[in-house]
Amino acid sequence: MGRRVVVGVAVSVAVATCAVAAVVVGRRVKSRRKWKRLLAVLKDFDEACGTPVGRLRQVVDAMAVEMHAGLASEGGSKLKMLLTFVDKLPTGGEKGSYYALDVGGTSFRVLRVQLGGKRSSILAQDVEHEPIPPHLMTRTIEDLFDFIASGLKQFVEKGNGSQHSPVGRELGFTFSFPVKQTSISSGILIKWTKGFAIEDMVGKEVVECLQAALTRNGLDMLVTVLVNDTVGTMALEHYHDPDTVAAVIIGTGTNACYMERADAIIKCQGLLTTSGGMVVNMEWGNFWSSHLPRTTYDFDLDAESPNPNDQVFEKMISGMYLGDIVRRVILRMSLESDIFGPVSSRLSMPFILQTPLMAAIHDDDTPDLTEVARIMKEVLEISEIPLKVRKLVVKVCAVVTRRAARLAAAGIVGILKKIGRDGSGGIASGRSRSDTKMRRTVVAIEGDLYTSYTMFREYLHEALHEILGEDIAHHVILKITQDGSATGAALLAAAQSSSNIVDGHRTGIMNT
């Protein structure tokens, strides 16, 4: 009897053990399936974002062709290729004191530079920031510009050490809103952005509005230059380095400008400039090509944006959007598997994962990825995810960043190809690389995505060398430029000044 009991117990234990083992095995199998689903989502996304050098060269060619089309006719390309009427850039020979006013968001900056007449000779530079009260962003033209003019007047008087208005001071004006430029010192506001909504100013001449406010406030200053931040960046770097041929902004948004030959701007037949060239504002954020590696996440982001089918390039490479692409991929992974736990409602909130946070995830080099865990918990309310899943999140960030940086590199090479600085001799040239002598070529770059995000910068440089080849890439220098939007405007005011004319000619000289 006792033996039967023992045997029965043993059998029961064995059955229980088998049952437990079956449960454990079942869980492992289920876990492996979940993991495989996550890996499949990542693999599909990685492949869809692929930027092999062959595809990048197709983007280069498409960019150069679209630039050509945009110069040929209005509306001929997604690239607007806007004339800036800046036909001369600072050379370093400029002397004197010049002012700049930079209005582009919820604050404005005023700046003064003292130039010594030698390249890179900025003897002194003063700058002040002033917030714009929110109520002025929706009131009247006079209220807004009187406030700005008053701030500028205080700045000028403080610098002069007196209460008397200056006489004959040239002012460079950076106005980073959509403007159709009509001359180097005039442009019509197309629309407001960034929270401004002064309806009676839309369609008005921007500089006239500012000039009237300067007069009302007793400032005898003349606005001689109206520019956007990209052109200012190019002007500042050209002041330091005469081999500068283009400028790129890669930050929250993105844009590019470059120096083009006047005879290549076909849509303005007979355009005459003193230098034979003109800076063209590409508005390259609106570039589109079938060669761009867009994914379902990109299409969804675009469709849900306030401007669907616009700014396609910007939505793939700029800081405004990269973090949200990562969020969308994580959301898809979370829906495919419960390995993240219950689906967090935060994952359905657009732009909750901003690009600086994405960069922090990508740059986390701690053994257990503590920064990744912190951001996932505090921002997305996803906690206690395994280390291998955290590594997967880092990989998603890497894929998004690498694609963006490599496409930005292709865009830069597209500009170089259009002007014959990529070693091929230009878009219409039949010359080969072997019989083209490559000149030193500088591209100014400004924007936090490039300047502050190490991996983005490294990916971009890597792609540039792959596309151009080491021999050609050796001649292309990407230079970080700081505060070009304001300082560059002051330098352009100096380049336009009658006091910087020598023997009947301005000191600004085109260098292409």
Comparing CA positions, the residue from 94, 111, 105 lying closest to residue 482 is 111
**165 part of the active site:** no
Neighbours of 167 (CB within 10 A): 7
Question: Hey, which residues does 474 pair with through a beta bridge?
Answer: none
96: buried, middle or exposed (CB in 10 Å: 19+, 13-18, 0-12)?
Answer: middle
Q: In angstroms, what CA-CA distances link 340 with 40, 86, 214, 411?
A: 16, 54, 58, 37
Task: Count CA atoms within 13 Å of residue 99 on its CB side.
Answer: 26
**229 part of the active site:** yes
Identify the H or E element spanning 508: none
Neighbours of 287 (CB within 10 A): 28
190 within 8 A of 206, measured Cβ to Cβ: no
- Catalytic residue selected from 57, 169, 185, 229: 229
Neighbours of 371 (CB within 10 A): 18
**176 part of the active site:** yes
Distance CA 453, CA 85 (A): 33
Distance CA 445, CA 278 (A): 19
- Catalytic residue selected from 77, 87, 102, 109: 109
DSSP state of 121: -
- Catalytic residue selected from 176, 344, 424, 485: 176
Name the residue type at position 498. Answer: S
Which residues are annotated as catalytic? 109, 176, 229
